[in-house]
Amino acid sequence: MVRQVIQIDEDKCNGCGICVNACHESALGIVDGKAKLLRDDYCDGMGDCLPECPTGAISFIEREAAAYDEAAVKENQKKKAMQEQMKHMGGCPGSRIMTMNRDNEEEVLNKEQIITSKLTNWPVQIKLAPPQAPYFEGAKLLIAADCTAYAYANFHQDFIKGKIALIGCPKLDSVDYSEKLTTIIKNNHIESVTIVRMEVPCCGGLEMAAKKALQESGKFIPWQVVTISIDGKILE
C-alpha cells in the first residue's frame, strides 16, 4: 500500500539518536552511526520524531510501504521493556529470568523412579518477578505462601506442575502484593489462578492480595483457594 512514512537524509543526519528516543513505536535505530527506519510497519506516520531532529534530516514521504502494525509494535515494546528491566536487575543470578523445560527431564528420570522438580520459571518470589516476563503469557498462575511447599509433601506434583509459580509471605515481606499481582494479571493472558495458603491467619494477607488483584484487573479468570494445614493436609 502507498502511505506516508518518514525518510532520513543521511547527509544531514549526525547520528545523535534524539529521534530514536522520540519514536514511541521503536521504528528508528542507529545503524553505522546514522538514524535508520528499521521497519515500515512500526512507523505510524505521525512524525513524533520530526520536530526533534536538530539537523532537519527527517521528512515525510509517500511511498509503497507495509501497513502500520500496532500489534507488532506493542509486542516489540513489551520485549524492550523486559530487556530494560533485566538490565537494571544487574548481575544477581537470583534475579535473572529463566524458563526450564521439564518435559524431557521427567520422561528420562521417571524411568529410574527419581522425583523431579516441576518448577519451570525463575524468579519465583512475587517481589522479584518481572511483570513482563514471557512465561506469564498464557500461564496457569500459582500464587503460594512459601510455607506451603514445606508443609505439603507432594507440592511440586500437585500444585507446581503445569503452572507458573509465585511465592511470598505477607508477614515476613510486610508488603501489599496486590499491586504487583494486578499488573501481572492485567498485562498478560492468565488462564487460571490457584492460591495456596497455610491455615494460619497471617496467610490471609496473601489470599486477600490475590483476590484484590483479580478484581482490579477487570478480567474474569477462573480461580480457587486451597488451604494447607500445619500438619500437611489439604483442608476442605
Q: Taking Cα atoms as reference points, which of 197, 91, 104, 94 lies closest to residue 146?
A: 197
Dump pLDDT digits (tens) for 134-152.
999 999 999 999 999 999 9
DSSP structure class, residue 125:
B
Dump pLDDT digits (tens) for 168-224.
998 888 788 999 999 999 999 999 999 999 999 989 999 999 999 999 999 999 999
* C-alpha dihedral (216, 73, 137, 101), degrees to nearest 10: -160
Helix (H) or strand (E) holding 62: strand 58-64
The stretch 43-67 carries a mean pLDDT of 86
The stretch 147-166 carries a mean pLDDT of 95
The CA distances from residue 213 to 59, 62, 122, 166, 218, in Å, are: 45, 46, 21, 14, 9
Please determine, for residue 118, whether its predicted confidence score (pLDDT) is greater than 90.
yes
Q: Taking Cα atoms as reference points, which of 175, 164, 172, 223 lies closest to residue 200?
A: 172
Question: DSSP secondary structure string, 184-202?
Answer: HHHHS-EEEEEEEEESSGG
pTM of the complete model:
0.58
User: 37, 8 in Cβ contact below 8 A?
Assistant: yes
Q: Which residue has the cell 537470583?
A: 94
Please determine, for residue 88, whether its predicted confidence score (pLDDT) is greater than 80.
no
Q: Helices 178-187 and 204-217: crossing angle, nearest 10°? A: 40
How large a percentage of the chain has pLDDT more than 70? Answer: 86
Return the pLDDT at 16. Answer: 87
Please determine, for residue 131, whether its predicted confidence score (pLDDT) is greater than 60.
yes
